[in-house]
Structure 1
Amino acid sequence: MQNKELVDLVAKACDDKRAEDIVIMDMKNVSLIADYFLICEGTNERQVQAIARGVKDIANEQDIDVKRMEGFDQARWILVDLGGDIVCHIFHREERNYYNLEKLWGGDAPQLEVKL
């Protein structure tokens, strides 16, 4: 499976858990960390955790190892590393506004259309 197809599946998994404001950023020419960042938000800690579980489940269904999942217990910003090619940032709404990754990388990383 191509990375773009996988990031679209991850976006769908986030949407299935009612994630809001889903953004996909093409990081290939900007960062060595990942090809894509997927950024989304939930309205409360339980929803943020449910979105992260949904991402992990879709990765497992596609035989993709989740290399790391950080921040799950606090559920303010959960980072899910899908093998270095895709990093999914799942924020609590308040934290997303504070860190504003889209603005941080936005001048250099184009946003892609989210296909749900």
Structure 2
Amino acid sequence: MVLSLTSDAEGSARKLAKGQSSVTSDAILAAVLKSLDDDKAEDVVQIDLRGISEIGDHMVICSGRSTRQVAAISEKLKSRLKDDLGILSKVEGKGTGDWVLVDTGDVIVHVFRPEVREFYQLDQMWLEPGAPSPTEA
């Protein structure tokens, strides 16, 4: 049996093989938010970075109740993005479980323990002045 790809499928296969994805940043953001919701992440804040920074299109900041939950949220997120969208994410900080960064390229996700999140106040650095804090929203 010979498997034949159409030109669109062939192009998509080539992009995935090169590490490129045709998935939009909004689709990645939706998948991230769903995964975080499924894993009971708390105080989820999303920040639109388009026009503000070149590091990505969106940033998501959330909390887990413990080091174990922070590590699990980030690991499941990485796995779901790979399985569902074919996106290979870079993960930093999973070993300690205090602050884990998941970088998809277009969407940057920070998963914190509440105490660590409060200490660094990353939300406040990126939110517009006068915007409600995550606990006020």
**TM norm structure 2:** 0.74
- Aligned amino acid, residue 78 of structure 1: V
Runs of 4+ in structure 1 off by over 4 angstroms are none
C-alpha distance in structure 2 between counterparts of 1:4 and 1:25, whole Å:
12
Percent of residue pairs bearing the same amino acid type = 34
**TM norm structure 1:** 0.87
Partner of 1:36: 58
Partner of 1:73: 95
CA-to-partner distance for each residue in 1:38-90, whole Å, 9 max, x for gaps? 11100100000110012101211110111x210000010000110x2111100
2:59 is the counterpart of 1:18: no
Instruction: Name the count of aligned residue pairs.
Output: 108
Q: CA RMSD in A?
A: 1.6
Partner of 1:92: 113
SS at match of 2:31: helix
SS at match of 2:55: coil
- Point out the structure with the larger strand share: 1
**How far has the Cα of 1:91 moved from its partner?**
0.5
C-alpha distance in structure 1 between counterparts of 2:29 and 2:58, whole Å:
7
SS at match of 1:98: helix
Q: Which residues of structure 1 form unaligned runs of 5+?
A: 112-116
Larger Rg: 2
C-alpha distance in structure 1 between counterparts of 2:30 and 2:122, whole Å:
19
Partner of 1:114: none
Partner of 2:78: 56
C-alpha distance in structure 2 between counterparts of 1:31 and 1:88, whole Å:
15
Q: Which residues of structure 2 form unaligned runs of 5+?
A: 1-22, 133-137
SS at match of 1:37: strand
